[in-house]
Chains A and B, each alone.
Chain A
Amino acid sequence: MEKKRYERPIIQKLNSGMLNKFGSATEFAPITEIDGYPVKRIVEKYGSPVFVFSERQIREKYSEVVKAFTTRYPKVKFGWSYKTNYLNAICNIFHQEGSWAEVVSGFEYEKAMYNGVPGNKIIFNGPDKSYEDLQKAIDNNSLIHIDHLDEFYMLSELAENSDKKPRVAIRVNMDTGVYPMWDRFGFNFETGQAWDAINKIMVSGKFNMVGLHCHIGTFMMAPSAYGVAASKLASLFLRIKNKFGHILEYIDLGGGLPSPNNLKGAYLPGTDIVPPVEDFAETIASGLLNSDINPNELPLLIMESGRLLIDEAGYLIGSVIANKRLSTGRRATILDFGVNSLFTSFWYNHKITPAQEMSDYKEDMQLFGPLCMNIDVVRESVILPPLKKGDMVVAQNVGAYNVTQWMQFITMRPNVVLIDMQGEAHLIRKAEKLETLNQMELTPDYLKSFSL
């Protein structure tokens, strides 16, 4: 039998609070394994901190989300949002499931090509596309989503000298009744910029206009906004058909669908306030189906959801470095990961759970990362059982944006592990080492030596 673990005693002010029949047991059941793979073994094998992704969860979530749309609308395609998580293994899971690629830079474009995504299944978004990027996209017949008129002019120039007609869509921004309104990307609907741009494209005759795109915001909590967006795009679709007799191939509603994460400043946990994907699918599908578009001409619906699909499948396992008491008397726990690895802790109060059985006693504490910087706060306040050095914790819902926005700052980026469908672990990104960084650096000869 394992030795019973020691937990330091806590003194807590008696606080009756609201009464409930369940008492005040800790709400955080410990996570001791991920997809049947013990957390302890992951750490033994791959060190701490370590990112873990569950392939099973990715695939199950994907099919759930896709089904929510395909059972409401006849033609649906998903484009995997590379910026959300562009680890090759992760991208390829989505590609295996049938996702196209949605990229927002020349680098991401190349990454998608490297992964083997056919050029005509890459959706090229973003405000920054160079001549070279655009030329490549034209040659590969990719779907270029024009963000601004300057891009239109660049494309016109290139189209002039190309025997291929660039396949384009425009990004449209609009008032969907939510704040803040994103109007820095694309062309505005209400002011007529979008219609103006469409006319320029259609009249020039140099383009193959195939779709309309919008991306109304991020972590959107109001499904109704998507309904508005869908019907506004549908109205543009019809206007194009009426004026030019041209039927677009698709309408791309972008992403921005929320995951059940706890947004900072939200009063209730994400699981309680984030609308289910069904609601979003419903408003989008009915927005299009209820428009005047002829049922035989319904465009393909493209979704570029990232966060919704991957957030819950990602875990970050870390260990306690030290315990401290702050001057105010609050408990502080220092973990071996901080905002450098868990970048999203700037936005979210990530759910953090112990990775071993603990008692029901708990106290309020602050979680800090390992950085020697004041900003490195993982949670300002969290109620956890008394943790001691070496205890492991699991941060949840970390699949989106962390392995792309993480920083190599003070420490190195850790290992990333994938638990496959059979419950086997695969290392999908090696932890960085000194050599990883040094190989990028060039030191002039005269700086190569010094004596102290």
Chain B
Amino acid sequence: MKARLDIGFWTESIIHSYTQIFFSKDKFLGVLLITITFLDVSVGVSGVVAVIVSNLIAMILGFDQKFIREGSYGFNGLLVGLGLGLFYVPNVAFFVVLVVVMLLTVLSTIAISGILAKYGLPYLSIPFLIGIWSITLASRSFEAIGLSEKGVYILNELYANGEDWLVNTYHWFNESNIPQAILIYLKSLGAILFQFNAFSGIIIALGLLVYSRISFSLSILSFLVAYYFYWFIGADIDALGYSYIGFNFILSGIAVGSFFLVPSKSSYLWSFALVPAIVVLTAAIGSLFSIVQLGVYSLPFNVIVIIFLYVLKLRMNPQAEPQEVVFQLYSPEKNLYEKVSNKRRYSNFQQTAIEPPFFGEWYISQGHDGEYTHKEEWKDAWDFVIVDANEQQFKNDGDYKEDYFCYDKPVLAPADGVVENVLTGVEDNIIGDSNLNQNWGNTVVIKHGYQLYTQLSHLRDGSIRVKKGEEVKKGDVIGNCGNSGRSPYPHLHFQIQHTPFIGSKTLNYPLSSYLEEENGQWKFKFFDFPKQGDHVKSVDTQKLLSSAFHFIPGRILEFKVKEGEKETNVKWEVQNDMYNNTYLYCSQTKSKAYFVNDGTLHYFTLFEGKRNSLLYYFFMGAYKVLLGYYQDLKVEEQYPLYLLAPHGLRYLHDFTAPFFQYMKAAYSLEYVQIDDDLSPTEIKLKSSAQLKVFNQTQREMRFNITIQDSRFAGFEIEMDKRKMIAQCVK
């Protein structure tokens, strides 16, 4: 623990403890929320004290500062603190009890998160429930702390605060003809912070709107679903209006519809579908708890959301819609645009890269869900052969296995791994015959990671060069293509599977990067599934490109930037965090550009920081670079929209974005020039970032990248009549 008081850290950890309630890290929202709690000073103070105490306890226990800073340990304590501040009279005994309750809350937070994290589930506000229930039940026998009457009659509080305008506003609200639904919505929103009034609701709604249009719209929509469901089943709508339960629908709407799931039509529909379930659960728990005179609070929301998220994880295909958020950016919009921008990378985040297991160009004679043998349990496999210009697999009459172009060609390890299983000794068939007894023929199974195996089958008898337990590197020759097993003609069967057994059930897993022929041109494919009839080959990397984009942690890049007469110096350092994320860091602008380099491809994943920094432009200009040089190859991708679109324009788009997107931020990269194929010293790339609204280009940035001697000799940026030239000086 640092002895010095880090004000930035504490401020942030306090603000985030407030925003976490709405699944946000938005500072503006945070300040609004804190302000609202101070409508009742003792509630406000109690809240802040609760947060600080909670965070201190987590700090003393030595928990990760990152999570403390994010408010993960603070927000449950805050909720308890706000509740206590409202219910009890603040005196010395109260604060002592508060500290004790905070300890209880923080300990339960940590314990519950420890249990649920194993299942990849959030703990939401369960610790709050434990805290508030405990103290409610226990305080009946604590004499030193007395119940406050504030919660009973709100006008008293307002007068107590001595502000006339508050009272007036309050009256205005009650007297104006605001529809009941909206009024209850606003009150429910305020109730989240134990501010059971419409005024707080308006402020919170405003903060929510600024933070996220998607969350805002979901909060209204799911509330309305609940409201009309109450009406439909004839339940007492007033019960919604006079208790702390309306926010259950709002929070579950935000959580399911936009935070834990990527916002989409289906996430919206699910968040609505869960509302009636929460209503039922609320009523049920409500009648049960009334026996002991306990509030239901957020229990229904907690139960339903956690159950639903758990169910989603148990699906056959967890990547199907609605899709869970892979990398939480604490903004529904960012989560959505990230996913749209890179659908393939998104759904394969941090997965092992499996590349084609051969040299040169091969042809897929049977793909996934094939018409011959790739069915049912074995549907996600590929059969590769080699064909000539006429798509013929053999020369002469094809009567002999040697006539087949693929026969005896080297077969490679598709990624680093350990040989898990080898089957040898199966004779190659004569053409047309199949060995159904030894279906897979000579086979190698390689383990690449946890529950990730590849199987290469029908290899030539006697060609397998690896032994069980041997380590292999990507590209090592493991055997040769043959005609053994159920193979009427020579081909390579390639499948990815969960288990190490020969002939395991196949896994629907993509090839990480390869080239595919489309209309006579080679196109780059990224985490994709080549289909039957496709010509594919693996990417051959270019040393100069590879070394230029090889950012070793610690490497420092210094640029001289010229814009007109102005000249500045920019310095970046390659850094990595404890989670092995690597990024370029610009200390002058405090900007970070996270990237991944898998040896074949460099791509940026996330940008944090200033939009006018050189690092931002570099992020945009080298968003995704294939590290092989292919003249005329075009690499195309979409940026997350928030990186390019101006705020106003984008905010409007946010409302419809989960369903329909008319704005697009397109990236495209071309390989312009290489001075020598063999030992190049200079490579020129050209890229552009275009903001398109209804397919009309609204904004464009153009980049020229020159790589010389493994460094960025020139980086030119052209946009909106500005022109910048950056030169790497070190």
Residues of A within 8 A of B (CB): 59-60, 63-64, 67, 70-75, 77, 120-121, 141, 143, 167, 208, 210, 249-250, 278, 282, 285-286, 289, 295-296, 300
Contacts and interface: CB of A to CB of B under 8 A. Distances in A.
A289 B358 CA distance: 13
Interface size class of B (residues with CB under 8 A): 20 to 34
A73 to B, nearest CB: 6
Nearest to B681: A141
Interface stretch (B272-280, B359-367, B716-724): B359-367
B405 interface: yes
B475 A74 contact: yes
A167 B679 contact: yes
B540 interface: yes
Given A71-B386, A74-B359, A249 B678 contact: yes
B653 interface: no
Contacts of B143: none
* Shortest 6 CB-CB contacts between residues of A and residues of B: A70-B360, A71-B360, A120-B676, A71-B409, A295-B475, A74-B359
B678 A210 contact: yes
B389 A71 contact: no
Given A210-B678, A289-B477, A295-B476, A72 B410 contact: yes
Most chain B CB within 10 A, of A74, A250, A289, A300, is at: A74
A29 B677 CA distance: 46
Contact of A72 (B360, B402, B538, B676): B360
B678 A300 contact: yes
Nearest to A100: B677
A120 B678 CA distance: 8
A341 to B, nearest CB: 32
A73 B358 CA distance: 9
A248 to B, nearest CB: 10
B473 interface: yes
A67 B393 CA distance: 12
Given A71-B361, A210-B679, 19 more contacts: A60-B389, A63-B388, A64-B388, A64-B395, A67-B360, A67-B388, A67-B405, A71-B405, A71-B410, A72-B360, A72-B409, A77-B677, A120-B675, A141-B676, A167-B679, A278-B402, A278-B408, A295-B473, A295-B476
Contact of B540 (A71, A75, A250): A75
A281 to B, nearest CB: 10
Contacts of A74: 359-360, 475, 538, 540
16 contacts: A59-B389, A64-B388, A64-B395, A67-B360, A71-B360, A72-B359, A72-B360, A72-B410, A77-B677, A120-B676, A120-B678, A208-B679, A210-B678, A210-B679, A289-B477, A300-B678
Given A67-B388, A71-B359, A289-B477, A121 B540 contact: no
Nearest to A56: B389
Interface in B400-427: 402, 405-406, 408-410
Contacts of A141: 676
Secondary structure of the B side of the interface?
A: loop
A250 B679 CA distance: 10
A285 B477 CA distance: 11
A73 B410 CA distance: 8
Contacts of A289: 410, 477
A143 B678 contact: yes
Contacts of B540: 74-75
B552 to A, nearest CB: 16
B417 to A, nearest CB: 14
B598 to A, nearest CB: 14
Contacts of A296: 475
Interface string B469-482: 00001011100000
Given A63-B388, A285-B410, A71 B362 contact: yes
Contact of B361 (A67, A250, A286): A67
A369 to B, nearest CB: 35
A285 to B, nearest CB: 7
Interface in B628-648: none
Contacts of B538: 74
Contacts of B677: 77, 120-121
A63 B390 CA distance: 11
A120 B473 CA distance: 33
A71 B408 CA distance: 10
Contacts of A75: 540
Interface string B537-552: 0101000000000000
A3 B263 CA distance: 84
A60 B676 CA distance: 27
Contacts of B388: 60, 63-64, 67
Given A71-B360, A289-B477, A250 B410 contact: no
Interface string B349-381: 000000000111110000000000000000000
Nearest to B677: A121
A67 B392 CA distance: 13
A289 B412 CA distance: 11
A282 B408 contact: yes
Contacts of B406: 71
Nearest to B678: A249
A57 to B, nearest CB: 12
Contacts of B473: 295
A160 B678 CA distance: 24
Contact of A249 (B362, B476, B477, B679): B679
Interface string B457-485: 00000000000000001011100000000
A335 to B, nearest CB: 32
A58 to B, nearest CB: 12
B325 to A, nearest CB: 36
Contacts of B395: 64
B358 A71 contact: yes
Nearest to A208: B679
Most chain A CB within 10 A, of B359, B395, B402, B538, is at: B359
Most chain B CB within 10 A, of A67, A71, A72, A73, is at: A71
Nearest to A282: B408
A59 B388 CA distance: 12
A120 B388 CA distance: 30
Contacts of B675: 120
A60 B402 CA distance: 19
A259 to B, nearest CB: 16
Contacts of A282: 408
A121 B680 CA distance: 12
Contacts of A285: 410
B679 A70 contact: no
Nearest to A76: B360
Contacts of A300: 678
Contacts of A120: 675-678
A208 B678 CA distance: 12
Contacts of B408: 278, 282
Nearest to A63: B389
Nearest to B395: A64
A63 B395 CA distance: 13
A73 B540 CA distance: 11
Interface string B78-106: 00000000000000000000000000000
A77 B677 CA distance: 10
A166 to B, nearest CB: 13
Contacts of A60: 388-389
A67 B410 contact: no
Contacts of A250: 678
Contacts of B362: 71
Nearest to A64: B388
Contacts of A210: 678-679
A282 B358 CA distance: 14
Nearest to B675: A120
Nearest to A71: B360
Contacts of B475: 74, 295-296
A356 B676 CA distance: 51
A67 to B, nearest CB: 7
Contacts of B360: 67, 70-72, 74
A92 to B, nearest CB: 18
A208 B680 CA distance: 13
